[in-house]
Amino acid sequence: MPTGAAPIRQLTPHAVDELTSTAQKILADFGSSAARPELLRTIARSAARLDETIRHQCRPVDTDDGLYVLRGLPVDDGGAGPTPASWATAGDSAAEWDLILLLLATSMGHPIAWEGQQDGRFVHNIVPSPGHEVEQTGASSTVLLSPHTEDAFHPSRAHLLLLACMRNHDAVATTAASIRKVRLDADDMALLSRPALPILPDDAYAEAQGFGEEPPKVAALWQTENGPTLRYDPAYTPLDEAPADYRAAYDRLTAELERVSVAVALRPGDVLVVDNDVVVHGRVPFKARYDGTDRWLKRASVRVPGRRSRPLTEADEHGYGQSALVAHL
């Protein structure tokens, strides 16, 4: 698997100063990064006033890689505090970074949160947690986090995913694979474009897993005027219920995604921006120490207004009863 093959967008020192000083002022005014309506409105106004060079670096993903790394923002390892033991205990840890991430996210579209995940926060803390080592969620560590579309089970999933690195002493790699780089024949593309199987809610959505209605069948691939997009989460897709020809096509898709996958070891301060319609992402296994020095990412999700990258039939899905909270500001 190639390592570090992600386009870099370098922030200028002026852009870094503007982002950090803006975040610090907002934090001083509000005293917390908890996303109240008035805080989100302030972030939206502040993002609209950011220098054009910042907004240029936040432009849409424009290569078949389907991702890029914003680089140049500093992280004070000591000042950030220890890596939280879980998202539930993180609170306002490294709160300035929550606001930096929301400023960037708001420059790209509408930040979203989920009622059923991390208490409805607009910025999530992704840390290894004791007792969750082998789950297929961001709290795991000792297993490969399988490549997947973020929140693939839901029709209102993010268009963009932002992963900001607070700490990564062990250079634990995030994996990524773009559908725009795979090679599949026309028959496989056609087969995988038919709604054949559901994608079930992952373990981060306990309430959704108990939803009583019939799971909707969804397409794994979709062809747009800009190229194919995908909706993919094999860990939560009941592939054994599919016909043999569909399973074989899905296996070929999986093999191709593995072939084109890259491993990106984020540095502290890096912000990985992933097109969630084009790229599946995961994480290599690692051994957590639970001593305050483990890998720590912050995550924000963004919907892009007017984007047409998904089948219209997705609007009819029930989303397993989960509601996205969208910052329409």
CATH number at residue 17: 3.60.130.10
Q: In this model, does residue 147 exceed pLDDT 90?
A: yes
- Residue 3 in any domain: the answer is no
pLDDT at 117: 85
pLDDT band at 210 (very low <50, low <70, confident <90, very high): confident
Q: In this model, does residue 328 exceed pLDDT 70?
A: no
- Residue 108 in any domain: the answer is yes
Question: pLDDT per residue over 289-326, tens digit each?
Answer: 999 999 999 999 999 999 989 999 999 999 999 988 88
pLDDT at 211: 87
Q: What is the mean pLDDT of the chain?
A: 94
- Residue 320 in any domain: the answer is no
pLDDT band at 2 (very low <50, low <70, confident <90, very high): low
Of the listed ranges 124-128, 136-140, 163-167, 246-250, the least confidently predicted one is 136-140
pLDDT band at 4 (very low <50, low <70, confident <90, very high): low
Of the listed ranges 114-123, 128-137, 224-233, the least confidently predicted one is 114-123
Q: In this model, does residue 3 exceed pLDDT 60?
A: no
Percent residues over pLDDT 90 in the chain: 84
Question: pLDDT per residue over 60-116, tens digit each?
Answer: 999 999 999 999 999 999 999 999 999 998 988 999 999 999 999 999 999 999 987
Q: In this model, does residue 205 exceed pLDDT 90?
A: no
- Residue 104 in any domain: the answer is yes
Q: In this model, does residue 273 exceed pLDDT 60?
A: yes
- Residue 145 in any domain: the answer is yes
Of the listed ranges 30-39, 76-85, 229-238, 308-317, the least confidently predicted one is 30-39
The tally of domains found in the chain comes to 1
Those residues whose C-beta lies under 8 Å from the C-beta of residue 243, and which sit 6 or more positions away, are 196
Direct distance between the N- and C-terminal alpha carbons of the chain, in angstroms, rounded to an integer: 40
The backbone torsions φ and ψ at residue 16, rounded to the nearest 5 degrees and listed phi first, read: -60, -45
Q: CA gyration radius for the chain? A: 19
Question: pLDDT per residue over 120-132, tens digit each?
Answer: 899 999 999 999 9
Domain hosting residue 166, numbered range? 8-305
Mean pLDDT (whole number) for 228-238: 96
What pTM did the predictor assign? Answer: 0.95
- Residue 323 in any domain: the answer is no
- Residue 1 in any domain: the answer is no
pLDDT at 169: 97
Mean pLDDT (whole number) for 235-239: 96
Q: In this model, does residue 150 exceed pLDDT 80?
A: yes
- Residue 311 in any domain: the answer is no
Strand partners for 162:
273, 300
Percent residues over pLDDT 70 in the chain: 98
